[in-house]
Structure 1
Amino acid sequence: MTKRESAYVVQRVQNYIERNITKPITMKQLSIEAGYSSWYLARTFKEVTGKGIFEYIRSRRLTQAALILRDENKKVIDVALDFVFDSQEGFTRAFSREFGIAPGRYKSKTPPIKLFLPEKAYDTYRAFHNSNKMDERMENMTKSIFVQIIERPERKCLLKRGKKAEDYFEYCEEVGCDVWSLLSSVKEALYEPIGMWLPSHFIPEDTSSYIQGVELPMDYDKNIPDGYELIILPPCTMMVFQGEPYNDEDFQYEIGEVWKHIEKFNPEVYGYQWAPEQAPRFQLAPMGYRGYIEARPVVKCNK
């Protein structure tokens, strides 16, 4: 089986797991879905995802359970049974091993935890192998970019710094690609997690200009996870650029197209000018269905 075929089979199994996450799942069911023997599927799944199948299923169930405990008023025992655990005791042991906190305490305190948010195997494969291919049809397409102005209030930001990273890929090499999973767990988040390029005065010596973080209200006072820090961001005005929807495997090309537009764009058309030292420039997670979204700080032009 080629790497492409392996990724496709594993993603089929991943999709089956998500559809049936609250039901009992057997190796026989997964083998039928994949079209391969249990032994071969187990080996291939581990090679592609880095986790055994049932370890993967348990982590996904615990992550979904954590989100319900965070957002809904349900008893721990009911959540445990919903996600196919035989008892509250077994669920508590598994939850505590996965997240380092008992589910009852997590429900009452909801501190940031590292959720298990795996990427889909085949989508990742396609994105990697298509990243350097230029589709001539795309070159000839007229791209529409939506532009709007938003205001951000004074707020806190929970973030993790790298060492020298200036972009997402360098950041992942320095700190790993799982920061997003912890940021996504923060119940009090004002908005979704973002990648940020920091102004110079926000960058301590020997730390990266690119970081990932999540914006929080000024009264946020929960414990800060190891390796993270909490800073205050001033109120600011941001000019947001949003590209057209795209196929997920073309994300690098589409980001480049938005960047080209921004480089040529004159904010004075809107009565603003660039203000790179006023606030972090930020990007939302690239998702093809909504187009690539990036925001840059601006201030009103002097009349």
Structure 2
Amino acid sequence: MTNQEQVDAVSRMQNYIHEHMHEPITLYDLSQVAGYSPWHSAKIFKQLTNKTAFEYIRDLRLSRAALVLRDQKTKVLDVALDYVFQSHEGFTRAFSKAFGVSPKRYADNPTPIKLFIDYPVRDYYHYKKGDRNMKEKKETHTVFVQVIDREARKLILKRGVKATHYFEYCEEVGCDIWGILTSVKDALYEPIGVWLPPKMVPAGTSIYAQGVEVSKDYSGKIPEGFDIIDLPPCKMMVFQGQPYEDEQFGEAIDDVEKAIQGYDPTVYGFAWAEDDGPRFQLEPRGYRGYIEAKPVREIK
């Protein structure tokens, strides 16, 4: 049975891996930060992440290395050594096995690949427990609001079946779609979770999906199983909460969602325009606060 102590221990191991990404990491190192024996640390890590610690470290390093090869002019050997692979050959074998393309070929022609995106186990654990909203609210946090313009563009997306929010989507589709979206080199912005308006939801597909926006003239590769749709120009009202600690992610999301529900855009000369495009959320990151955006139109 998973308990909070085990979740916290695996969270500490995840943090340690991030902080020592470019250094050798041993099971003993992880057990020291977890506070359990090496055997038990390995057991609970696999239980909560569905990967052994060394599979997790390898996949994360390969994915980080892929982004370097995609975005920077650098030698494959230098990237291999920076991510603690012992040789060019070993790195090439591991990269090719993970992504189906050699690092050199990928660097020359970056196409969407299935990167590994690691998620804090604490987030999913609290959702599964159903206690995201259990803490009593002791204070109201400020939510900042601004309106931005979005030009005509396209959205590469992976649809679900019945999902209405992120965790349902993960259960239907998996939590690794973000990795493919992150690998799209010509993306205009970072990947997003979207709630699609009815006119963009074909029968038998979900309201909630995940995608990434590209230019209206995009002609690159569409990953297998993904769709691409046109998005018209629109205005988006962006709601951004205050920075938060990782364990407070549920409250941070609630603050923003409640602000949206109680917000009257007409006070500032706008009206909700759900049909103009998807409402979207950015990946929750504590340092910047939780962010959602909803389409609006100016009232003439």
Task: Compute the TM-score of the two structures, normalised by the length of structure 2.
Answer: 0.90
Shift of the 266–63 alpha-carbon distance from structure 1 to 2, 3 Å rule, reads same
* Cα shift at 1:102: 1.3
Which residue does 2:18 correspond to in 1?
Answer: 18
For 1:122-163, what per-residue CA distance to the aligned partner results, in whole angstroms no more than 9, with x for missing partners? 4554565541413241xxx23322111100011111100111
Which residue does 1:262 correspond to in 2?
Answer: 260
Which residue does 1:150 correspond to in 2?
Answer: 148
User: Following superposition of structure 1 onto structure 2, how do residues 245-284 of structure 1 map, counting pairs within 5 Å?
Assistant: 245-284=243-282
In structure 2, distance between residues paired with 1:31 and 1:136: 35
Which residue does 1:107 correspond to in 2?
Answer: 107
Which residue does 2:77 correspond to in 1?
Answer: 77
Shift of the 170–125 alpha-carbon distance from structure 1 to 2, 3 Å rule, reads closer
Which residue does 1:133 correspond to in 2?
Answer: 134
In structure 2, the gaps of 5 or more residues are none
User: Following superposition of structure 1 onto structure 2, how do residues 195-210 of structure 1 map, counting pairs within 5 Å?
Assistant: 195-210=193-208
SS of residue paired to 1:73: coil
Which residue does 1:93 correspond to in 2?
Answer: 93
For 1:184-222, what per-residue CA distance to the aligned partner results, in whole angstroms no more than 9, with x for missing partners? 222221111111111222111211111111111233222
* Cα shift at 1:168: 2.0
For 1:61-103, what per-residue CA distance to the aligned partner results, in whole angstroms no more than 9, with x for missing partners? 1111111111111111221122222222221110011112211
| Range with greater deviation from structure 2 (229-238 or 165-174) | 165-174
User: Following superposition of structure 1 onto structure 2, how do residues 55-66 of structure 1 map, counting pairs within 5 Å?
Assistant: 55-66=55-66
Which residue does 1:165 correspond to in 2?
Answer: 163
- Cα RMSD after superposing both structures: 2.2
The residue type paired with residue 16 of structure 2 is Y
In structure 2, distance between residues paired with 1:34 and 1:263: 40
Contact 1:242-1:258 at 8 Å conserved across structures: yes
Which residue does 1:50 correspond to in 2?
Answer: 50
In structure 1, the gaps of 5 or more residues are none
In structure 2, distance between residues paired with 1:227 and 1:160: 7
Contact 1:127-1:251 at 8 Å conserved across structures: no
| Range with greater deviation from structure 2 (283-292 or 272-281) | 283-292
| Range with greater deviation from structure 2 (180-189 or 145-154) | 180-189
| Range with greater deviation from structure 2 (238-247 or 187-196) | 238-247
In structure 1, distance between residues paired with 2:114 and 2:238: 29
In structure 2, distance between residues paired with 1:2 and 1:278: 43
SS of residue paired to 2:217: coil
Which residue does 1:289 correspond to in 2?
Answer: 287
In structure 2, distance between residues paired with 1:29 and 1:256: 36
Shift of the 261–110 alpha-carbon distance from structure 1 to 2, 3 Å rule, reads same
Shift of the 5–136 alpha-carbon distance from structure 1 to 2, 3 Å rule, reads same
Contact 1:126-1:249 at 8 Å conserved across structures: no
In structure 1, distance between residues paired with 2:274 and 2:81: 51
For 1:252-288, what per-residue CA distance to the aligned partner results, in whole angstroms no more than 9, with x for missing partners? 3333333333233221222221111111111112223
In structure 1, distance between residues paired with 2:2 and 2:261: 41
Which one of 231, 234, 256 corresponds to residue 232 of structure 2? 234
In structure 1, distance between residues paired with 2:269 and 2:73: 47
Shift of the 168–122 alpha-carbon distance from structure 1 to 2, 3 Å rule, reads closer
In structure 1, distance between residues paired with 2:288 and 2:269: 27
* Cα shift at 1:19: 2.3
In structure 2, distance between residues paired with 1:106 and 1:10: 32
Task: Compute the TM-score of the two structures, normalised by the length of structure 1.
Answer: 0.90
In structure 2, distance between residues paired with 1:253 and 1:25: 33
